[in-house]
Amino acid sequence: MKLNSHIKHLTIDAGLFVGFWLAFWLDLTGLALHQWLGVALAAAAVYHLLLHQKWVEAVSERFFGRTSAQARRYYILDVLLMAGFSLITITGLLISSWLNLALADFGLLRLLHVWSSILTAGLVVVKIALHSGWINQALHRSFGRERAGAAGGVSAGAAPRGAPRLLNAERRAFLKLVGVTGVATLIAVSRALPGAVEALAGDEAQASAASSQTVSLGGAQSSALSSGCVVRCDRGCSYPGHCRRYTDSNQNGRCDLGECV
Ligand code: HEM
């Protein structure tokens, strides 16, 4: 069965939102799934943009000329969202276990990754609020039943008496949509926020400065330091650490990747 255009757009947008939300639950997904999910989200965001390519091209051409203030607002928000998604994906790839780069400043890149995720989450809620009219209409057209007096179901004769009720229904639908997505985003962001604020306050800088004295090698490499410690990890994690590669098979309270010999 061919999906109609509303359902297709709604499915992609809902998938983007749920996937973005899930990306904040690293403990639940694990790092491997988180990385694949992140890349899939970047691809879905590009696809979303391609679906609106005509609008993007039209506003790009007329941005400084004749276009509405609303179109300009939407455009600026979309540029910020694109910048946010790009930063999340680039920093995510740089700190990923796929590339396993020997980074001098893993902590800073991780901080950028987390903060760009938090700020982009805020922008996503603003985007949902600005487009709530379209989203509610599309939801109604795709899954709703016609209701006299409710959004979309008012006959020409009933309009004057139905107008306030229509306005109330629209307001309720707006509050419901923004409330649900806003609260869901707050819950997701609250998982990453405490660590991100601490890191901004300097804990991460101290941790990575301390770790750079003892841990300075790329993931696959190993080297014996003067203290006799073999370091195979450049993440600088202290127990339990931020690194999802932490294992302690001999249960001595230290990560197996940074054992002393
Ligand atoms: C929209 C996409 C993404 C969002 C919202 C997101 C969000 C986050 C958040 C909030 C954290 C910190 C979680 C915590 O400490 O509990 C994190 C960590 C991380 N993310 Fe992402 N991320 C995204 C995409 C990606 C991508 C595309 C990659 C790489 C391919 C990636 C790789 C990582 C890595 C390596 C960490 C650090 C894990 C560690 O501390 O060991 N992320 N991400």
For 161-208, what is each residue's pLDDT tens digit? 667 777 788 889 999 999 999 999 999 999 888 878 877 776 544 444
The dihedrals phi and psi of 151, each to the nearest 5 degrees, come to -50, 125
Question: Is 169 touching ligand 1 by the criterion CB < 6 Å?
Answer: no
Looking at the chain, the whole-number percentage of residues with pLDDT higher than 90 is 46
Mean pLDDT along residues 55-59: 96
- The pTM is what? 0.77
Mean pLDDT along residues 211-219: 37
Cα separation of 47 and 190, whole Å?
29
Question: Is 124 touching ligand 1 by the criterion CB < 6 Å?
Answer: no
Mean pLDDT along residues 204-230: 42
Question: Is 140 touching ligand 1 by the criterion CB < 6 Å?
Answer: no
**pLDDT number for residue 148:** 43
Cα separation of 115 and 46, whole Å?
21
Cα separation of 248 and 245, whole Å?
10
**pLDDT number for residue 105:** 84
**pLDDT number for residue 59:** 96
Question: Is 24 touching ligand 1 by the criterion CB < 6 Å?
Answer: yes
Of the two residues 30 and 239, the one the predictor is more confident about is: 30
Domain definitions of the chain by residue range: 5-151+160-201, 215-261
pLDDT band at 27 (very low <50, low <70, confident <90, very high): confident
Question: Which atom of ligand 1 lies at the shortest distance from residue 95's CA?
Answer: 35
Mean pLDDT along residues 25-42: 91
Mean pLDDT along residues 232-260: 61
For 101-126, what is each residue's pLDDT tens digit? 888 888 889 999 999 999 999 999 99
In the block, tokens 């902590």 appear at: 107
pLDDT of 224 strictly over 80? no
Of 120, 96, 110, 94, which Cα lies nearest the Cα of 199? Answer: 110
Distance 39 CA to ligand 1 centre (A): 10
Mean pLDDT along residues 56-77: 94
Distance 25 CA to ligand 1 centre (A): 9
Residue of 17, 20, 24, 26 best suited for mutating to test ligand 1, as the one with most atoms within 8 Å of CB: 26
pLDDT band at 49 (very low <50, low <70, confident <90, very high): very high
